[in-house]
Amino acid sequence: MPRRTFTRAELESFRDAVVPDLLPDSPGQELKLLFVGINPGLWTAATQTHFAHPGNRFYPALLRGGVITEPVDPADGMSEADRAMMRERGIGITNVVPRATAKASELSTEELRAGGARLTALVARERPRVVAIAGITAYRTAFARPKAVPGRQDEDLAGARLWVVPNPSGLNAHETVASLAAAYREVALAAGVI
């Protein structure tokens, strides 16, 4: 079956849409690791699936790093079986800013700071072991940490160990699936996912 495609006009119709967080949906599920994107792209909004753009390396890196054990092809939308597998492994996904844009550069400093406060409240409520924010620039702005460097941060976030990991977008050209896999495996090990 051919992969779904969208016209530019179709994608634009999803501007400012919100993609629901992927979080535990039953009392017995533990949230061990919460991945945090900057904000949904238009393809993500169209498919209602985080990190869904075909050029995004998030799911291939998770698979290569052993964080997930089955491949996920989210370009058409994550299946319910995919979502259940992520939840069963204790993995959640959210964004700093919930509204979809064509580029993260469209977000204002105020939106990112408000998103940082929203994320802190979410982490306090859901209580993951580890939070992994995918993108150092967004982290620096959202949390007013202009000198932050990638990796484990000195402070926790609402009781969760906090990491900043590389952004898996295809626009982040100096990262590869292998380098992303190593970073994501490190946070998954810290969270007890693997």
Residue 78 to residue 46: CA distance in whole angstroms:
12
Residue 16 to residue 33: CA distance in whole angstroms:
26
> Residues 136-174: pLDDT tens digits?
999 999 999 999 999 999 999 999 999 999 999 877 778
pTM score: 0.95
Residue 15 to residue 87: CA distance in whole angstroms:
27
pLDDT of residue 71 exceeding 70: yes
Place of tokens 């291939």: 60
- Whether 166 contacts 134, CB under 8 Å: yes
> Residues 100-126: pLDDT tens digits?
999 999 999 999 999 999 999 999 999
- Going by pLDDT thresholds of 50, 70 and 90, the confidence category of residue 4 is confident
Spatial CA neighbour of 134 closest among 44, 2, 3: 44
pLDDT at position 3: 61
- Whether 100 contacts 14, CB under 8 Å: yes
Contacts of 63 (CB under 8 A, 6+ apart): 69, 70, 71, 72, 181
Q: Which domains does the chain have, with CATH numbers?
A: 8-191 (3.40.470.10)
